[in-house]
Structure 1
Amino acid sequence: MQRGRSGRSLQDRAAASGVPSTDPGPATPPDDGAPGRGSGGRAGEGRHCWVHDPPDTPGTWPGLLVEWRQRDGVWQGRVAYTVTGPHGAALVEAWLPAAGLEPR
């Protein structure tokens, strides 16, 4: 083991602490072809995805989908992704339409 590491993930240690979670986890969109459907992952986990043509940064970028919401009948995913900026990589977090997200 490395110094300062217990070998278990933070999620495992939190679950073993006995303190109940107040986080309901991300909502899952219905079976309409939106990314994240049928992921088989545990609630609260992020999901890797491709972000296609986000605002102001055309192209396809690797991202992490962390949450879903539905606004005005349209599914949106909250994603964190990096883009190449004038001074190197920049981290962006944004709500984007599900149509622009693709599972990895």
Structure 2
Amino acid sequence: MAGGMHRGGHGASLADRAARSGVPGPPAAEPPPSAGRRRAAGDGHGRHCWVLDPPDAPGTWPGLLVEWRQREGGWQGRVAYTVVGDHGPVLVEAWLPADRLKQG
């Protein structure tokens, strides 16, 4: 929408506007991870990664690692990444095995 990005922001960064919103942020400290638990990736801010040959989209795709979890078969990462679809880019969010993710 026209002008929507500037209304009320007065040039402030998104982080500054979020801080002034009154909505509480994440807790200061997170309990240590243990088997079967989930934990945020990148200290809760997400972390860039490469997604290697995800289902239905062979190749290497840039992604954002959001969270880790441990299952009986090993570690999995929850990632968001885009792939080329029939009508343009498609956003995918999925749990993938750790061996399909490479540190970016």
TM more than 0.5: yes
SS of 2:39 mapped into structure 1: coil
* Structure 1 residue runs without a partner (length 5+): 29-35
The separation in 1 between residues aligned to 2:69 and 2:20, in whole angstroms, is 26
Deviation at 1:16, TM superposition (A): 7.8
In structure 2, relative to structure 1, the CA distance for the partners of 1:60 and 1:27 (3 Å cut) is: same
Work out the number of aligned pairs and report it.
Answer: 91
Residues 39-61 of structure 1 deviation map (CA, whole Å, 9 limit, x = unaligned): xx5x3201111000001110000
- Which protein shows a greater Rg? 2
The residue type equivalent to 1:91 in the other structure is L
User: Which 4+ stretches in 1 moved above 6 angstroms?
Assistant: none
Residues 23-69 of structure 1 deviation map (CA, whole Å, 9 limit, x = unaligned): x59616xxxxxxx6xxxx5x320111100000111000000000000
TM-score normalised by L of structure 2? 0.69
SS of 1:27 mapped into structure 2: strand
- What is the root-mean-square deviation in Å for CA atoms of aligned residues? 3.2
TM-score normalised by L of structure 1? 0.69
* Structure 2 residue runs without a partner (length 5+): 32-37
In structure 2, relative to structure 1, the CA distance for the partners of 1:11 and 1:52 (3 Å cut) is: farther
Percent identical? 54
